[in-house]
Amino acid sequence: MKSFLLNINKEIYINKINMKENMQKRFVKEKAFLMIFLIITLSFTVANFEEVSADEGNVCCEYTSSGDTCVYTDEDNCNGGNAVSTTCEQTSYCETGVCVSSEGKCSDGVSKTTCESLGYQWNEGSSDDYAVCQKECCVIAESQCSYTTEDHCSYLIEDLEDIELDWRDVDSEAACSNICRETDKGCCVESDVCSYTTYGLCADADIDLNTGTGFYEGEYCADLGACACVSHDTKRCIDEDVYWFDSCGNQEDVAEDCDYLSSTWCGYDEDEDDYVCESIDCEETFDGVYNIEGVETQRNPHDERIGGDREHGESWCLYESPAGGYKDRPGSQHYRSYCYFGEEIIEPCSDYREEVCIQSPYDAGFELDTDYNLWKAASISNDYDGPSGSACVNLVDNYLLSQEVATVSVGGSFWADTYGTDVCSVANVDCGMTYARDSRSDSYFQAGLGVMCTSPQWTKTLSDYCMSVGDCGVSSNIAGEYSSSGFYMGASQSVLAREEGDHSSKKVYVGYDECVDHFFDGGKYGNPFKTDENKIASQVEEVNSGEQEAVFCLYECSEKTGGSESCDFINTIEKDEFYDYYSSGEADYYYRSNALSEDEEIILGNGFPELTFAKDLGEDSYGVYGGLIGVSQMQEDNELGTIKTNLGWTIAFGTISAAGGAAAAAYLEVMKLAGREYTTYAAAQVAAKEAGKVASKEIIDAAGEKAYEAAVQAAAKKASEQEIQGVLSAAATARTASSAAVVIGGVITIVMEAIGWIEIYTIESPIERMEKSQTFAISSGIAAGMTAVSMYIAVATTGLGPAGWIVGAVALVVAGVSAILSSGGETRDVTISSFCEAWQAPTGGDYCELCDVSVSEGGLAIDDGEGNILRGWDCTEYKCKSLGQGCEYIEENVGSERAKCISVAVNDVNHPIIEDAYLLGNYKDLDVEFVEDDYLKVKDKVAPYTFFEFGIELDEVSQCKIEYESLHETYEEMDLYFPDSYFDYNHNQSWILTPNEVYNFYVRCQDHNGNNNIDAFVIQVETTGGDDITPPTIDATSVNNGAFIANGVNETIVSLFVDEPANCKWSFSDADYSLMEYYMSCSGIPETASSLFENECSALLNVSYGNNYYYFACEDAAGNANTENYAFTLVGTDSLNLDYASPNGTIYYDYTTISAGTSGGAYGDGKAVCSYGGIEFFETNSSVHTQNLEDLDAGDYNYGIVCSDIAGNTNSTDISFTIAVDSDAPMLSGLYLIDTILYYELDEDATCEYYFEEFDYGEGTSVAGSFTLTELSTYYLICEDVFGNQGEYVLNV
């Protein structure tokens, strides 16, 4: 940009130089051309004359073979054209006249052929006959003057950009030259003084050789002996440069040539005590910091030159809080600071951060990077240390850098009741999660799905999201006061592990804010924890001092008993340690926490959906970061957790099925081994049938009860012994096989149960574990049932051996117990919600006043380092409200230096205290006695009749009232405010005192809360007697001196206003006060001296026509009367006549002019102001008053005309007129033919057209009363009146 400016300026200078050079060249060129042209032309003309007289045989040759024109020469020399044997003057082609060149110059006496051969315009006569040849003064840039024609003047400036035609009316070429001489500089020598000035300002510019007076162009006065001035006496500034001045104070040559483009300008250097070329750069700039968690941070962390020197014209950004990344604090504003002529000036970007400040290298410009919708300028590196440029860019209605892109949240009126609902609540986010428990392995609920919902990362993200939508959530204000009540997390139900059951010793951590809250006030939501306050206090202190980044508290919570929990504080941990705990699962239960520390980075752990930040696209952003994208995407990712849900069921069911199938298969195999394919029962029946024939006691015992019965029955059938033995053998085999089957099945069942338990133990997910457990309970139940059935069958048929009994029983117990223990798991859905509410300013109003205090003095106002607030900075309502809930903004003080932000805390019940009272002006050094908020007593007496000035200073901004002598009971009853009735810390007053009086001034002040001091502050001062020799002064009169008095008014009351108590008199003659005849009505001299005197004296003055002269004089209490009377005049006036008013009657147009005429009146010439119907005439304030009315509707109009003059003479009348609507077309009232001219007449005004054929009005030939006939034919005539009525006539001629 700078180089650009340089170029511009160079161009300007070069243009100026070129302009001069061009003009000079052009003048030279023009002059040369003209001279050559005239020399050639005139020489030939003169030669011709000589030829005519010398040689009668020659001819006037239009063109000669040598290329000349109009030459009187031998005919042989002619070459084409005319050649006539007469003088050229007598030919038509060589007749002389005025030749106008293409450049606009006129030349007289130039032959026609000569002129036209050059392509110029030839005219008869002389240049005096033609307006285009009239010469006036062509002034170019006040430096060149040419006495020439207007066209030629235009030609001269044709190529000069930015120069407009300046063609001035002058009488002569000398007068024209003098115009340019006006600005010529030189020494003007007068009889007694010399001055370096312009020719135009030199009163007597003609040089008188005898006296030496006159104007000496281009000379310095010190160089002229007549002036006796010493050269190079002092230096001073003239615009940019340092100039020498002589001892007479006249300007001389340049002492130092300062160069704006090199950032130097003439200025006074205190060190050198002289004027020199000074730098206009800024040596120092604002370097204040703001606090983040106690850490001082530069106002623009992206610019390393903050606080350093800056070049003239350089601008940069300043912030009041972290900028971008949704870290802008409520109340903060972006500022653009710039260096201009050595002064740093602040330009606030629009409040509420509707505009953000962005910065770039000085000459980079700002371009949009369409890929990312970010400012390309924002991508410069931080290494850049050249000059910078900046701009305030609107976020609200700027399509380039909008709220969707920037991470600067637009602020708002967070203190309004609806702000949270209207703005912040959009950032409320619900996060679904599922807790699960199974009855055996985990007696308490554990988070299964949506674990992220209770993670600190998620909380931090939502906190950021909350802050991104406006002044919402958790943040510090611009004074660094932290407020966390605008954001919190909540659960739809309090199901967490502590609700029921034993959670043994689980470690719990809480975030920094919560930890600090607990430490300071027990936490907003109650403190269930026991804290080691001392330990936390030291940690918090470390954080606040910047030694440590953040504090997290770690607790260990014991078993819940009786509906309450017990958590013991373990330790404070730092951020990294906290993440270790979290990732290791050692402290896997997260208690509600507010947002983490402000400068906490987001750490994206495994299993958490990653956020995409636009800032990742431009990390080196200058002031503004990329935007946050994808909170909704994050929620979608969270839902993916449900995909895993049914996997455990499938695995569990398969395991159970396999185990059951294996057991069944094993049993059937055993049965096959027994050699029978039928059941044990059927085999027993066959065996018994055979055994019954030869039953013995052993067989019966061996076969059992049923076998015995069968054997008995079989014996009855006389079975053979062999058959019985066979059956018995088979039965024994079958019993052995049954026992084996039960043993094998039991062992398998036990093993499978063990495997099942191991599987359950190895599942991490509480939900999967719960689901696996539930499936396992079913499979265990089935296994137990199958074991029981198999044992029963074995016993009922073949019997069961001891091993079968033992193993089967164990398997039955194991499966049954497993089924019972692994059943009964459940899940519970919980919604973790973030609640985004309006950011809340800190309570109270302790910090309000910081808004109006400079940074150097601990406040917020950007200053020059010495407490002087920089121009452009102002405390705003937004800033004020952010400083405390008890802060009130005083709108009426905006733009002033008065305090704008005051505390109106509801608990402020104290009245304003007058901390100081002081005297001002002439009495400021008097000895006084002061008691705070009580009184100020002036120990010395003061002189009367002087302004006694005093002031008070309060501890808070207040309005103050003052009373003298008597005192009303309350502040409200007091009438008189201090002159500065604003809310302010200081109030000043002045009072005129009279002699020998003790003055008690009573002061009460009231703050914004309505608190006022019941006991008035008293300022006491006593006056001396004093010798009053000053007569009263008549300051003003109620009626202007020389005022006009209306005609007919014979008397009027006139009041005088005097500066001290006095009596006044008046007279028609300029008599001494004592001789004046008439007393005026005054309040007189008060019996007790008081400044509250009535300073008005009145008299009824007689007034007659013409000038009335009066004389006033007054006398004060000390007998001082005016020795010079106050002359006063009133002018009696003539009546104002309203001579005429119109229109009246009927008007057949839709327009008219109302006019009125006046005469007489105050000035005697009728000058007055008139109005019609209450509306002032457009032309009035004279004797003629007019008002044009147009587009009137048809109807009656009645207006009252009222005129009045300066004296109040009034006259009036009424006018009434009717606007009639004409709906009839114009009618021919006459038609006649004279020769070939056809005349027509109409019955009203109209415009007409005619044609030979039928036509539409507007397409014919316009005529006015007649037209010439070209043939006998039919003519069509159409006439239209002002109302648009058209009459058509066919004229057959």
Partner 1 sequence: MKKKGQMTLFIILGIVLIILIGLYFVGVKTNIIPPLLTPSDANSEMKEIEEHIEDCLEEVGMNYLYILGQQGGYLNPGEDTYKMFNDSMVSYLCWNQENSPTCTNRLITLDKMEEQLEDSIGKGLETCINVYDYSNDVEVNEDWELDITINYFNVDFNLDYPVSVVKGEDDSASEDEFGYEADVALGEIYEVTQDIVNQHASLGEFDQLLYMLSKLSRYTIYKNRPYPDVIYQVKLREKAYVFQFGIQGEENV
Which residues bind to partner 1, rule: CB under 8 A? 1, 5, 8-9, 260, 280, 312-313, 315, 338, 340-341, 345, 347-352, 354, 391, 394, 396-398, 410-413, 871-872, 874, 876-878, 891-892, 894-896, 1036, 1040-1042, 1044, 1070, 1126-1129, 1131, 1162-1163, 1165, 1167
The residues facing 1034 across adjacent strands are 1058
Q: Which is nearer to partner 1, 164 or 705 (CB)?
A: 164
Q: How far apart are CA 1007 and CA 234, in angstroms?
A: 56
- Contacts for 196 with CB less than 8 Å, ≥ 6 apart: 185, 186, 187, 188, 220, 221, 250, 251, 252
Q: How far is the CB of 981 from partner 1 (least distance, A)?
A: 11
Q: Do β-strands 984-992 and 59-63 pair in parallel, antiparallel, or remain unpaired? A: unpaired
Q: Which is nearer to partner 1, 245 or 352 (CB)?
A: 352
Q: How far is the CB of 142 from partner 1 (least distance, A)?
A: 13
Nearest to 850 by CA among 331, 353, 312: 331
Q: Which is nearer to partner 1, 504 or 1181 (CB)?
A: 1181
Nearest to 791 by CA among 751, 756, 819, 749: 749
Give the SS3 label for residue 858: coil
- Please give the full DSSP string across 1067-1127, using - where no structure is assigned: ESS---GGG--EE-EE--S-SS--S----EEEEEEE--BEEEEEEEEEEETT--B-SS-EE
Q: Which is nearer to partner 1, 900 or 911 (CB)?
A: 900
Q: How far is the CB of 137 from partner 1 (least distance, A)?
A: 21
Q: Which is nearer to partner 1, 396 or 998 (CB)?
A: 396
Q: How far is the CB of 128 from partner 1 (least distance, A)?
A: 36
- Contacts for 609 with CB less than 8 Å, ≥ 6 apart: 452, 633, 634, 637, 638
Q: Which is nearer to partner 1, 94 or 1043 (CB)?
A: 1043
Q: How far is the CB of 1080 from partner 1 (least distance, A)?
A: 19
Name the amino acid, one letter, at 918: Y
Q: Which is nearer to partner 1, 746 or 1161 (CB)?
A: 1161
Q: How far is the CB of 903 from partner 1 (least distance, A)?
A: 22
Burial 842-861 (b: 16+ CB within 10 A, else e): bebbbbbbbbbbbbbeebbb
Q: How far is the CB of 416 from partner 1 (least distance, A)?
A: 8
Residue 133, token pair as written in the block: 């040849």
Nearest to 686 by CA among 706, 662, 661: 706
Q: How far is the CB of 261 from partner 1 (least distance, A)?
A: 9
Q: Which is nearer to partner 1, 415 or 667 (CB)?
A: 415
Phi then psi for residue 669, to 5 deg, are -65, -40
Q: How far is the CB of 1055 from partner 1 (least distance, A)?
A: 14
Q: Which is nearer to partner 1, 1041 or 1262 (CB)?
A: 1041
Q: Which is nearer to partner 1, 5 or 682 (CB)?
A: 5
Q: How far is the CB of 1094 from partner 1 (least distance, A)?
A: 21
Give the SS3 label for residue 790: helix
Which residue has tokens 């074991």?
787
Q: How far apart are CA 1021 and CA 935, in angstroms?
A: 11
Residue 1243, token pair as written in the block: 């019955």
Q: How far is the CB of 480 from partner 1 (least distance, A)?
A: 23
Q: Which is nearer to partner 1, 313 or 756 (CB)?
A: 313
Q: How far is the CB of 313 from partner 1 (least distance, A)?
A: 5
Q: How far apart are CA 704 and CA 332, in angstroms?
A: 100
Name the amino acid, one letter, at 221: C
- Contacts for 1285 with CB less than 8 Å, ≥ 6 apart: 1222, 1223, 1224, 1225, 1226
Q: Which is nearer to partner 1, 286 or 1126 (CB)?
A: 1126
CA dihedral 139, 141, 142, 144 (to 10 degrees): -60
Q: How far is the CB of 621 from partner 1 (least distance, A)?
A: 21
Q: What share of the chain is helix, strand, coil (3-state, %, to 5)?
A: 30, 30, 40
Give the SS3 label for residue 701: helix
Q: Do β-strands 1152-1160 and 935-938 pair in parallel, antiparallel, or remain unpaired? A: unpaired
Q: Which is nearer to partner 1, 350 or 558 (CB)?
A: 350
The residues facing 185 across adjacent strands are 198
Q: How far apart are CA 297 and CA 580, in angstroms?
A: 29
Q: Which is nearer to partner 1, 803 or 894 (CB)?
A: 894
Q: How far is the CB of 1104 from partner 1 (least distance, A)?
A: 17
Q: Which is nearer to partner 1, 477 or 994 (CB)?
A: 477
- Contacts for 381 with CB less than 8 Å, ≥ 6 apart: 620
Q: How far is the CB of 397 from partner 1 (least distance, A)?
A: 5
